[in-house]
Amino acid sequence: MSESTFNFKAAVGQIITGDISINGDNIGIQNNCPEANQELIELANQLENIIKNIQGQMNLDPIKQADQIITVQVAQQEIEQQTNLRGRLVAAIKAGTFETIKQLTQHPLVQILLEAFKAGIEI
Residues 70-100 pLDDT 10s: 999 999 999 999 999 999 888 888 887 878 8
Q: Residue 4: is its pLDDT beyond 70?
A: no
**Per-residue pLDDT tens digits for 46-65:** 999 999 999 889 988 878 88
Pick 68 or 27 by higher pLDDT: 68
Q: Residue 32: is its pLDDT beyond 60?
A: no
Buried b / exposed e over 46-68, threshold 16 CB at 10 Å, is ebbebbeebbeeeebeeeeeebb
How would residue 14 be classed by pLDDT, with cut points 50, 70 and 90?
low
Q: Is the pTM of this model over 0.75?
A: no
What pLDDT does 105 receive? 83
Q: How large is the angle between the packed helices 65-81 and 108-122, nearest 10 degrees?
A: 50
Ordered by start, the domain boundaries in the chain are 1-30, 34-122
How would residue 123 be classed by pLDDT, with cut points 50, 70 and 90?
low
